[in-house]
């Protein structure tokens, strides 16, 4: 089991867990600020950006794609403002229209462009290529200590770990101002907390997490992880710090259990093929939320 | 004592095209309780928020104890309108009060036992000690208002600014809040509150600032809280019965038993 597990299952599980964590942690604050759909939005908007980045450079390297994603996010924000002003459409609907349109445009671009020789297609955009993130050079657990083998780890792993660190550092260092300004923005300003800047920083960090996770695991996980683990955690506690900690636990549980179920569940049930890990991870996170909604101690109407 | 707790010059605030506050001057007297009064939409809350930098101002100068606002943040405490936050937020009463300690604890400093004791004292001062570990959504409106006041107390400020602290609270809470405010005044601190209920102005406050977009009058209750200034600010929107009750020297024909409270 050792060698095969380290080479084939460990990297995807780690990458999936890191991606889940990177999205779920800022998701707590977005959810409480009623901005939870921003994760959804970003992960849709980045598709055309990534495709354009690819078309302009002809490679699937990270930087052009990330820059393309960032540019697409800017275009989206501008378009939302424009539609709200000119079309007199409420903000939520304007968001929905812009993100769906941009995602659809991304799909069209993908179809029309010659991306057949690279792993850039609609399926990839939706549920990523988690299973293909393998570590061929690994021969067993001892490879974790072998610098030569380590050099051939999937680059997504390093990138996702880095992004996860950025997210955790941001939330850890700015915990107090984030909590205060999320609860009571006006009061936060009177304390001298730059609330607008902090809100922008939160959205930016969320965008970094969304783009990195999108690249590694596809948009389904991104959308699910921004909302499901925080929402589940909210139903379990009335304390912000506990909620954030629990959301991390639920994100990790979803990633690990989802990956294992996708890989082995169908076989246990007698089917031949594994199912999409991204789909299963997102499904597990949704089931956790459903369970918490049914029996969680802090459902609406439940008192302490 | 030379520097007024708050001095505002030529403050104009605008939401969209029309100004919400226009060219307001204001000088808050030290160690007194001042009410900001005026009709709905007169810019009372906006004035407070603009002074505190919560909403941007078009023009105007703000001086707090003789210096720029940014340098005096630590000397100001603020109690926002209760309805301005989501009370379903995952936080307990004591956590909210500890938010008031932010400037003292700092970005990543640890809450010491002393900090916690301070927060507990502030909660006790508003009579809410028994509710320290409750989720804030489980409190009544009056209790929520007291928690906000306790948070302001934790700020340990010299100038307290409150936005409608008595709006929608029960009688016991109103009494508790006014007692705390009066004790703050006795300690030499300054209080400035947006206030809606004209009938309690003379009982609660020393001074008034009457505004209807632009300032109408400013001074002690005897000077500025007059039939004349109120009529000027409220126009026809003031129930005649209320004026009769407030200024019984000029009796009118048929006064209703209860004043219609502006809502």
Among A15-24, A80-89, A115-124, B2-11, the minimum mean pLDDT is found in A115-124
B260 band by pLDDT with thresholds 50, 70 and 90: low
ipTM: 0.89
**Shortest Cα distance, chain A CAs vs residue B161, angstroms:** 10
Are residues B85 and A183, on separate chains, in Cβ contact within 8 Å?
Answer: yes
Is the per-residue pLDDT at B108 higher than 60? yes
**Phi, psi (5° rounding) for residue B36?**
-95, 115
The reply to whether B165 falls in a domain is yes
Are residues A239 and B92, on separate chains, in Cβ contact within 8 Å?
Answer: yes
What would the mean pLDDT of A251-279 be, rounded to a whole number? 88
By C-alpha distance, which of A19, A4, A15 is closest to A223? Answer: A19
pLDDT score, position B251: 47
Is the per-residue pLDDT at B259 higher than 90? no
Is the per-residue pLDDT at B47 higher than 80? yes
Q: What domain range includes position B234?
A: 6-239
**Helix extents (H) in chain A:** 2-4, 10-32, 37-57, 62-87, 91-112, 122-127, 147-150, 155-173, 175-183, 185-190, 195-217, 219-234, 240-268, 277-295
The residue count of chain B comes to 263
Q: Which two tokens stand for residue B7?
A: 């001095």
Residue B83: closest C-alpha in chain A: A184
The reply to whether A139 falls in a domain is no
Is the per-residue pLDDT at B258 higher than 80? no
The reply to whether B64 falls in a domain is yes
Higher-pLDDT residue of A55, B96: B96
pLDDT score, position B249: 63
pLDDT score, position A7: 81
Residues of B in contact with A239 (CB under 8 A): 90-92, 95
The reply to whether B254 falls in a domain is no
- Counting the structural domains of chain A, the total is 1
Higher-pLDDT residue of A184, A138: A184
pLDDT score, position A301: 55
What would the mean pLDDT of B120-136 be, rounded to a whole number? 96
Of the candidates B52, B78, B107, the beta carbon closest to that of A176 is on: B107
Residue A177: closest C-alpha in chain B: B107
Higher-pLDDT residue of A71, A18: A18
Residues of B in contact with A304 (CB under 8 A): 134-135, 138
Are residues A187 and B78, on separate chains, in Cβ contact within 8 Å?
Answer: yes
Residues of B in contact with A182 (CB under 8 A): 89
Among A100-104, B178-182, B192-196, B254-258, the minimum mean pLDDT is found in B254-258
Is the per-residue pLDDT at B250 higher than 60? no
Is the per-residue pLDDT at B255 higher than 60? no
The reply to whether A301 falls in a domain is no
The answer to whether residue A266 neighbours chain B at the CB level (below 8 Å) is no
- To test the contact with chain B by mutation, choose from A34, A238, A240, A292 the residue with the greatest count of B C-beta atoms within 10 A, namely A238
Share of chain A above pLDDT 90, in %: 37
Q: Are strands B190-194 and B159-163 parallel, antiparallel or unpaired?
A: parallel
Share of chain A above pLDDT 70, in %: 92
Cβ pair A191, A11 in contact under 8 A: no
Among A240-249, B105-114, B169-178, the minimum mean pLDDT is found in B105-114
What whole-number distance in Å separates Cα of residue A248 and Cα of residue A258? 15
B263 band by pLDDT with thresholds 50, 70 and 90: very low
User: What are the pLDDT digits (tens) for B10-33?
Assistant: 999 998 778 899 999 999 999 999
pLDDT score, position A97: 87
Average per-residue pLDDT in chain B? 90
What would the mean pLDDT of B38-65 be, rounded to a whole number? 94
Residue A234: closest C-alpha in chain B: B90
Is the per-residue pLDDT at A304 higher than 50? no
Average per-residue pLDDT in chain A? 85
Which residues 183-222 of chain B have a CB within 8 Å of chain A?
A: none
pLDDT score, position A203: 83
**Shortest Cα distance, chain B CAs vs residue A178, angstroms:** 10
Residue A192: closest C-alpha in chain B: B73
CATH number at residue A122: 1.10.3470.10
Are residues B99 and A187, on separate chains, in Cβ contact within 8 Å?
Answer: yes
The reply to whether B248 falls in a domain is no
A64 band by pLDDT with thresholds 50, 70 and 90: confident
By C-alpha distance, which of B65, B71, B17, B11 is closest to B43? Answer: B11
Are residues A180 and B99, on separate chains, in Cβ contact within 8 Å?
Answer: yes
B90 band by pLDDT with thresholds 50, 70 and 90: very high
The reply to whether A136 falls in a domain is no
pLDDT score, position B209: 96
The reply to whether A145 falls in a domain is no
By C-alpha distance, which of A97, A90, A104 is closest to A76? Answer: A97
Are residues B89 and A303, on separate chains, in Cβ contact within 8 Å?
Answer: no
CATH number at residue B26: 3.40.50.300
- To test the contact with chain A by mutation, choose from B16, B64, B90 the residue with the greatest count of A C-beta atoms within 10 A, namely B90
The reply to whether A299 falls in a domain is no
Among A269-273, B45-49, B70-74, the minimum mean pLDDT is found in A269-273
What would the mean pLDDT of A236-253 be, rounded to a whole number? 97
- Counting the structural domains of chain B, the total is 1
The answer to whether residue A301 neighbours chain B at the CB level (below 8 Å) is no
A3 band by pLDDT with thresholds 50, 70 and 90: confident
Q: What domain range includes position A246?
A: 2-130+150-293
């Amino acid at each position: 089991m050792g060698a095969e597990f380290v080479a084939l299952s460990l990297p995807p599980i780690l990458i999936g867990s890191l991606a889940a964590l990177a999205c779920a942690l800022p998701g707590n604050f977005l959810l409480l600020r009623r901005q939870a759909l921003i994760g959804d939005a970003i992960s849709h908007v980045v598709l055309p950006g990534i495709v354009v980045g690819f078309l302009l450079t002809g490679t699937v390297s990270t930087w052009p794609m990330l820059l393309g994603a960032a540019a697409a996010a800017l275009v989206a924000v501008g378009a939302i403002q424009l539609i709200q002003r000119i079309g007199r459409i409420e903000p939520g609907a304007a968001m929905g229209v812009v993100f769906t349109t941009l995602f659809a445009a991304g799909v069209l671009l993908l179809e029309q462009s010659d991306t057949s020789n690279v792993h850039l297609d609609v399926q990839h955009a939706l549920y990523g290529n988690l299973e293909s993130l393998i570590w061929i050079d690994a021969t067993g657990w001892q490879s974790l200590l072998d610098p030569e083998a380590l050099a051939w780890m999937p680059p997504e792993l390093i990138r996702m770990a880095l992004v996860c660190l950025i997210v955790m550092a941001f939330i850890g260092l700015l915990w107090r101002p984030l909590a205060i300004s999320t609860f009571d923005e006006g009061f936060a300003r009177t304390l001298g907390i730059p609330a607008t800047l902090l809100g922008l920083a939160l959205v930016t960090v969320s965008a970094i997490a969304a783009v990195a996770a999108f690249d590694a695991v596809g948009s389904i996980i991104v959308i699910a992880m921004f909302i499901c683990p925080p929402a589940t955690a909210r139903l379990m506690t009335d304390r912000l710090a506990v909620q954030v900690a629990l959301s991390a636990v639920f994100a990790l549980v979803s990633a690990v259990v989802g990956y294992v179920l996708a890989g082995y569940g169908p076989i246990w049930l007698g089917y031949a093929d594994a199912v999409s890990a991204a789909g299963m991870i997102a499904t597990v996170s949704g089931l956790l939320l459903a369970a918490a909604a049914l029996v969680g101690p802090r459902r609406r109407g439940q008192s302490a | 004592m030379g520097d007024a707790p708050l001095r505002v010059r030529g403050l104009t605030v605008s939401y969209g095209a029309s100004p919400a506050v226009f060219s307001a001057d204001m000088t808050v007297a030290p160690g007194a309780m001042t009410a900001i009064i005026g009709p709905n939409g007169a810019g009372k809350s906006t004035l407070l928020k603009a002074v505190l930098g919560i909403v941007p101002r078009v023009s105007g100068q703000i001086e707090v104890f003789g210096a720029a606002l940014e340098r005096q943040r630590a000397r100001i405490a603020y109690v926002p309108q209760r309805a301005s936050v989501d009370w379903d937020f995952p936080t307990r009463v004591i956590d909210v009060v500890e938010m008031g300690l932010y400037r003292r604890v700092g970005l990543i400093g640890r809450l010491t036992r002393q900090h916690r004791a301070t927060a507990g004292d502030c909660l006790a001062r508003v009579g809410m000690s028994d509710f320290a570990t409750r989720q804030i959504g489980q409190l009544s409106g009056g209790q929520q208002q007291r928690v906000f006041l306790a948070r302001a107390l934790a700020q340990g400020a010299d100038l307290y600014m409150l936005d409608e602290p008595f709006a929608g609270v029960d009688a016991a809470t109103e009494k508790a809040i006014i007692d705390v405010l009066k004790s703050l005044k006795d300690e030499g601190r300054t209080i400035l509150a947006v206030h809606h209920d004209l009938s309690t102005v003379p009982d609660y406050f020393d001074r008034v600032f009457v505004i209807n977009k632009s300032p109408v009058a400013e001074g002690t209750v005897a000077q500025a809280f007059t039939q004349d200034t109120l009529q000027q600010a409220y126009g026809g929107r003031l129930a005649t019965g209320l004026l009769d009750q407030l200024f019984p020297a000029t009796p009118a024909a048929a006064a209703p038993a209860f004043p219609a409270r502006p809502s």
